[in-house]
Each structure stands twice: as C-alpha cells, then as structure tokens.
Chains A and B, each alone.
Chain A
Amino acid sequence: MAVASSDTAIRTGRVTRTFLYLVLLLFALFYMLPLYVMLVNSVKPLSEITGGGMMSLPQTWTVEPWTKAWNTAQIGVESTGLAPYFWNSIKMVVPAVAISTILGALNGYVLTKWRFKYDTILFGLMLFACFIPFQMVLIPMATVLGKLGLAGTTTGLVLVHVVYGIGFSTLYFRNYYAAFPTELVRAAQIDGAGFFQIFWRILLPSSGPITVVCVIWQFTNIWNDFLFGASFAAGNAQPMTVALNNLVQSSTGVKEYNVHFAGAILAALPTLLVYIVAGRYFVRGLMAGSVKG
C-alpha cells in the first residue's frame, strides 16, 4: 500500500495557482449555500421568514428555534423535542454499523484471500444488493420480520440495516484487501496460523483506514434512513429522522420553518461531526484501499 503523502510531482505556475484557488473557493461557496440558508433561517423569528426575507440576515437574532427543536417542539402528541429520539437512533446505528462492518471485513477477507470457485460471481451477487430500491422491499420485509417475531423491535431494524449494508461494506473491504500482499497470508499459513488468526493478526491491524471509510459510509446511510425507521421501529423507539420528518412535515398545520431548519441541523450533527473529525482519515482510508485495484 502506498504511504500517505500529499507530495506531488506536478509543478504549477503563479497564474495557474491563483486560478486554482479561485475555482476551489467558488466551489466552497457552492457547497456552503444551502447550509447558509438553513443557518440563517434557524436564528430568525418566523414572521421574518413568512414576511419574505428568506435569504437575508436576521433583523432580530434568536436561539429560540434551536431550544424549541431540541426540547419542546411537538413531535407526536407530546412536546418532547428531538432530544429523546437522538438516543433511539444511537441504539439502532451502533449495532447496525458494527455488525455490517464486521461482516464486510470477513467477507472481504474470504473473497480475496481464500479464492474458491465462483468467488467473483458471489461478490457480484452481493454487490447487486446495493441497487435494490428500498421502497420495493418494504412489504416482503414486513412479512419476514413478522414471521420472525421481530416486527416493531430495534433488533428487527438492526437486521434490516445490516442486510442492506453488507453490499457496500463487502465492496470496501474486498477492494482494500485485494491490494494487501497475499504473500504475507501465505507465509502465515505455512507457519500454521489458522483462518481467524490470520485475519486477527495480519489483516485487521492494518485495516484502520478502510474501517473508517466503511463506518462513515454506513453511519451516514443508516443514520439518515427514514423509510425503514418509520416502518419497522416501535412507536417509542422511532429514530431521529422519523422525528425530524414529523417535525418538518405537517399537512395542514402552521409551518415553523425556523424550527425546522434548527432541527435539521441538530439531526445532522452526529454525521457532520463524524465527517469533520474523521474526514482526514477518510481520504486516507479511501486512498489506501477502495480505489486501488
């Protein structure tokens, strides 16, 4: 595996560099735009928004939408805010991410280091799972969960996320391990190391970067899922996205856009945090693995 390095042999002149910075900054602005709209509207009173000032800075600054979204906004019949749902999401996301990542790592290991017949086809079949539209599987999934007695339980929800996460986690680890020198595995085998020993002692210690990638990817997807959370979670265990949706969507009630935006940012904070904290490892992980053949 290549060692991480931002060194490049390409040399650029002064004019080109100015141009580069200009383009990069323009794109930074482009990416910031919706966040600006959300932030600026989350700190102004509702009357300013419905009065037409959606793009301007607040005339009166207020943090009330934020406290309201977190603590007192009406989600169901009770005005609990988003706070209790936060933990529901955590309880679902952590096991689902852990299990799908572990399975992905094992699958990747088997598919690259233990070649057997049809391994490529099997991998292809698993990868195709990524492309299933979730709306399609809703009803058969409900049937299966009902039969298993897992309907309306967090366990059931974790199972669903694991199933549809395997495709990608396997893809990441397979591509990563494909670049891992097979000679090391063979050598360990000759030394009498077993299947799990090789995985544990040789592959796992250098799997840090790709694990970061996989965890970020799974965390984002599962945290942001709405459809499965709404359909398969019990009423008192609904995840954050369902609560956010309940906060934001109202057919015939007054829409408090400022609270909506504050809530949206709150709901996204864990994923944002993951991206910002783990972002640098993220590129490193992608570099080390998934994009190397």
Chain B
Amino acid sequence: MMMKSLKMTVAALALSAGAAQAADVEVLHWWTSGGEAAALNVLKQDLEGQGIGWQDMPVAGGGGTEAMTVLRARVTAGDPPTAVQALGFDILDWGNQGALANLNELAAKEGWDDVVPEALQAFAKVDGKWISAPVNVHSTNWVWANKSVLDANGIAVPTTWDEFTAAVETLKAAGVTPIAHGGQAWQDATVFDAVVMSTGGADFYKAAFVDLDEDALGSDTMKEAFDRMAYIRANVDENFSGRDWNLATAMVINGEAGFQMMGDWAKGEFLNAGKVPGEDFLCFRFPGTGDTVTFNADQFMMFDQGGTVSSEQAALASAILSPSFQIAFNKVKGSVPARTDVDGSDLDACGQQGMKDLAAAASSGKLFGSMAHGHAAPAAVKNAVYDVVTAHFNGEYDSATAVQELVDAVSIAQ
C-alpha cells in the first residue's frame, strides 16, 4: 500500500515537472560575464516573444568544466536540461552516448548543411545526425599588439617567425616586455597551437594533433616547436605564472608589453578599455599561420526528450542559428558567426577580418580545430598535452624530454 502511494506521488511529481518543461526551455551555460550574458539575453527575449519561457541555469568556472560536472549529475539523476552549452569533443561524447536529440528535420528545413563550415559540422553531427546548434566560431591563432608601441619601435606587423623574433628583440632592446602572457595551462597550450601550426604547417598540425600520429608527435619538427616555446618563455616577464589572460591583455593595452597571443575574445578587453581596432591596437594571425585558422566553437547541444524534438527545443535551435542572433551575439563576444552566409558589415575591422579568414580557410581546407580548446582531440588527450606543454614552459622538461613525454602522455591518454 505504502509503496504504491509513494510511487504515485513520484509519478505525479514527474508529471508536474514534465508539464513545467513543456512550455519552457532550460538552458545550462557558463556565459555569466556581462557582455556574454547580455548577448544571451537576446536569445531569451526572442524565445519569450514566441511564448516560450527560459529557465536559466548558469554555472561558470573552469572554462565549462564546472558546467559539465553539473550536467553529469543532472543526466545521472534523469533530469537533463533542454539545451547545454558545450565544446568540441564533449558534444560528440554525449552524442555517442545517445543522449542528444536528432535535429535533422529542422536542419534540413533551414539548410544548416550549406551554411555551416564542414570542419565545424564535424562537431555538431554524429552519424549524420545534427545534435547541436553552433553559436559561433572563435579563432585562436590571433596576435594582439599595441600599435603605438610597435610604431614607436619601427616594427611592422610580423608575418614570419623570423620577423617575429626580430620584433621581439627590438622590443626587448627598447625595454618593453615583448610578450604578455599568463602562465596557465590552457594559455600555454593556446600559444603552443599557433607555434606548432607555424613551425610545421597545416599538414603537420593535422598529423600531430588531429590524427595523433606518433611519428609527428615525436618528430624533430615538434622539438623545434618546443624550442620556439622556450624562446617565447624567455621573452615574457618574470611574473607571468598564474596570471589571468585578461591581465596579460591589460599589459598590451597599457603599453607595458608589445604582443599577446590569444583568441579573439581578447578583443572585448580592448574595446572595453575604449580602444579602436587598427588605430590603438592591431589584430593579426600568428606569424606563419596567415592562411590557416585554428578554431573552437561554442554550441548548444540539445538533449533528447523522450525521442522527439519538442517545438520549444526546435524554436530554440532555430533562434540560435538565425542570422540576427548570430550577428548580435558575436558582435559582443568577439568571435564570428558559425554560419558563413551572414552579412558581417556590422562587425568591426578585426571581426570582418576574422569572417573573411574563416571563409577562406574553410574553403581551402585549412580550418582546423584547436588542440588547446578541445577541438582537435578528446579531453583526455587535450589535458595530457596541457601537462607536457605547461611542464616544459615552466622549465620542468627540456625540449627533447618534452617531445618524448608528449608521445608517452598522448598514448596513455587514449
């Protein structure tokens, strides 16, 4: 008797919970900083205009790790949110678990296949099924420079590694910190991405980081990449360790340092400080990676809700890919739209450059996922690479040891 009534109570609870969900979408994300959250609010209002409620579930921290932890608890408890912000391989992992919805019907209707770059589709589809809605594309191989510092020292935008080292030496001689950097594993790895691309070229990058080819990982080219990392390490200031990336950006803004290697989100810091692209600061691709783009992309993966895509979920996905949201959001975020067919004239110079580069790289097959940002290899491998890169950057290994450790670490992590 008691068991039965208990079961009924549970069933009633589940029903009422389901009823609440029917009219609402619940969205788990980690966009809590001013600009990002405000941009997301555009999406919320769009949905509310269609009579769909938005239950916000923000969990920030660790570049999304915290949110992924919470997600696991939610899924284990049998109560997944409608949509979850996610990156790269996390999406594929969840897709492979069969936990995500099949958005193909909507995607076909709206023609996603034609407008989203293929390299990005690889992270939004599993077995030919669309499982998530891409929001943006960040490219990570940018260099940010203080224009007046460069001008004062007669430095032109460097396009090769040698020009870059010459510029660094000039800055050093002038008493300016050449490179602003924050010594956190992910920042070290972001630089490493660009250095590997620049040292070995696109094919090498793919072999080493996407195919995880042992020969490439253990090659002399990789050793040279580590040597270049050591060069960069030698040209950052003594206090780099543990510094937040935006404080490193502030060094460039304040003219204390010449360059920072960082993804396009750094632009927001410049704009927030009232700086104008092209006049106060410069954005250009890491020397030697001019025609390639390494990217990471934020997406919302859509969780399966009993085998069907509810109209609310479909409305959410559709709103995410609508050109108006893509532009509104990416203007704030610093990234570029995930679809290449939108009109980017609203974006600033760096944003337009980014869109042009993305379209070019996508059509020439030189658009690659960023290792540092979890778009080249699964999380376990990514973190294994972090371990080695950061240990080398902090002087624990020399370059030869680092190459050996890299091969070992990657093989253990697979």
Contact = CB atoms under 8 A, between A and B. Distances in A.
A75 B63 contact: no
A242 interface: yes
B240 to A, nearest CB: 15
Interface centre among A230, A235, A246, A250 (most CB of B within 10 A): A250
B79 to A, nearest CB: 5
A96 interface: no
A13 interface: no
B404 interface: no
Contacts of B73: 138-139, 141-142, 231-232
A74 B55 contact: no
Nearest to B272: A254
Interface centre among B40, B55, B57, B253 (most CB of A within 10 A): B57
Given A235-B56, A236-B55, A253 B79 contact: no
Contact of B79 (A75, A151, A227, A252): A151
A151 B13 CA distance: 11
Interface stretch (B29-37, B165-173, B191-199): B29-37
Interface stretch (A21-29, A58-66, A76-84, A213-221): A76-84
A267 B73 CA distance: 25
A12 interface: no
A142 B58 contact: no
Interface string B98-117: 00000000000000000000
A18 interface: no
Given A145-B77, A254-B269, A246 B32 contact: yes
B276 interface: no
Interface in A246-264: 246-256
Given A146-B77, A249-B32, A249-B66, A79 B55 contact: no
A267 B413 CA distance: 40
B78 A76 contact: no
B140 to A, nearest CB: 11
Interface stretch (B119-127, B224-232, B243-251): B243-251
Nearest to B30: A251
B59 A77 contact: no
B314 to A, nearest CB: 20
26 contacts: A51-B250, A74-B33, A74-B37, A75-B37, A75-B58, A76-B32, A77-B41, A79-B37, A139-B72, A139-B73, A143-B77, A152-B74, A152-B79, A230-B59, A235-B26, A235-B57, A245-B61, A246-B30, A249-B62, A250-B32, A252-B263, A252-B265, A252-B333, A252-B334, A253-B31, A253-B34
